[in-house]
Amino acid sequence: MSTTRKRVYGYLAEFESATALYAAAEKIRDHGFTCWDCYSAYPIHGLDTAMGLKRSILPWFVFCGGLTGMATAFTLAYTTQVVIYPTVVQAKPANLFTLPAFFPILFELTVLFSGLTVLFGLLALIRLPRLNHPLFESHQFHRVTDDGFFIAIEAMDPQFNREQTRDLLAQIGGSSIELVEED
């Protein structure tokens, strides 16, 4: 028998349908919970609104990444083609700086930096990679990809109280309410 004590991750409750999950999400949001999530086998239209989720900050990260890429491309092209190695074509050095010649590299580095910002920004925002999630230890959570509708309320939520949270989940229609623990 192990003497190590597991840390409580939170409660996991199953709901009978997408409609019940949607209604439960609204009630949990209205109770002031902030660290919780809904799980279903397919997207449910409007669930993000029912959960009270705000728009993601990822588009702003991508915009800044694109601007960084464009500034990097412009600096690279200007420095190499105008400052270090001025290109003189047919003995006509009059206009060394031509912006249209820089468009391909500007476009390519803007797209590259934007794409990399999407990848790494998304991974950071959703806290991946994570080798194991505490919900994977639940006996019922494996059904979420088939026909289950679940809500998990994390113990790190300021509103979390063991008894009151369990009672709330039961009151709003949750069944098979399980206390999930993590190592």
Q: Which pLDDT tens digit goes with each residue over 48-105? A: 999 999 999 999 999 999 999 999 999 999 898 888 887 777 776 655 677 888 899 9
- For 77, the enclosing helix (H) or strand (E) is helix 58-78
pLDDT at 125: 93
- The rounded distance, in Å, linking the Cα atoms of 163 and 72 is 55
25 and 40 part of one domain: yes
Q: Give the single-character DSSP code of 4.
A: P
Average pLDDT over residues 18-44: 96
pLDDT at 85: 82
95 and 135 part of one domain: no
142 and 86 part of one domain: no
Of the candidates 134, 135, 159, 144, the residue with the CA atom closest to the CA atom of residue 15: 144
Q: Which of 88, 109, 125 is the last residue of a domain?
A: 125
43 and 72 part of one domain: no
What is the share, in percent, of the chain residues with pLDDT greater than 70?
93
- Tell me how many domains the chain contains: 2
Inside any domain, residue 85: yes
Domain hosting 154: range is 7-53+130-182
